[in-house]
């Protein structure tokens, strides 16, 4: 009975954490950290789990590329007009990133900008849609998927 209760609590905690992570608002765009792979398979076996771990590891940008992408996204959100594109490339790692400002809308105390972001590694490209928001009293941009 105790074991069953513990399992239920663990499951509930995991669900709550997953739900909160899906709507996470961070100061770093998701496209910088989530990598280029999204072809993960259902983790029904150890093999599938290991395959996903490999995909995650091989598709993640290096820390310097992540920083370059973050800088490009923040530069674009801060300076570019709607419709403009900013990009970075790193031939040494066969990586690149792009960001396009799609729209801008006012929100209470600030404004939000919709971004189409793209990261590339070894000719694998992944597209993201992200929101960058900034309020008048905030020093940093915050990023979210919605």
The residues that touch another protein, with contacts defined as CB under 8 A, are 27-28, 64, 67-68, 70-72, 74-76, 78-80, 84-92, 139-141
To another protein, the closest distance from the beta carbon of 77 in angstroms equals: 9
Residue closer to another protein (CB basis): 55 or 71: 71
Residue closer to another protein (CB basis): 76 or 115: 76
To another protein, the closest distance from the beta carbon of 85 in angstroms equals: 5
Q: What is the DSSP string of 87-112?
A: EEEETTTTEEEEEEEEEEEEETTEEE
To another protein, the closest distance from the beta carbon of 18 in angstroms equals: 23
End-to-end CA distance of the chain: 40
To another protein, the closest distance from the beta carbon of 117 in angstroms equals: 13
CA neighbor of 114 nearest in space, from 127, 103, 128, 98:
103
Residue partners of 134: CB distance under 8 A and separation at least 6: 77, 110, 111, 112, 140, 141, 142
Residue closer to another protein (CB basis): 16 or 25: 25
CA neighbor of 96 nearest in space, from 73, 70, 119:
119
Residue closer to another protein (CB basis): 42 or 137: 137
């Amino acid at each position: 009975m105790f074991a069953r209760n513990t399992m239920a609590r663990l499951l509930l905690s995991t669900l709550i954490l997953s739900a909160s992570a899906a709507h996470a608002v961070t100061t770093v765009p998701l496209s910088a950290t989530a990598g280029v792979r999204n072809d993960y398979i259902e983790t029904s076996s150890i093999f599938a789990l290991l395959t996903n771990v490999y995909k995650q590891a091989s598709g993640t940008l290096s820390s310097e590329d992540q920083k370059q992408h973050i800088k490009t996204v923040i530069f674009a959100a801060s300076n570019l007009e709607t419709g403009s594109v900013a990009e970075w490339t790193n031939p040494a790692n066969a990586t690149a990133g792009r960001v396009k400002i799609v729209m801008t809308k006012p929100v209470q105390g600030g404004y939000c900008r919709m971004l189409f972001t793209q990261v590339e590694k070894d000719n694998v490209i992944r597209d993201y849609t992200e929101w960058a928001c900034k309020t008048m009293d905030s020093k940093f941009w915050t990023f979210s998927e919605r």
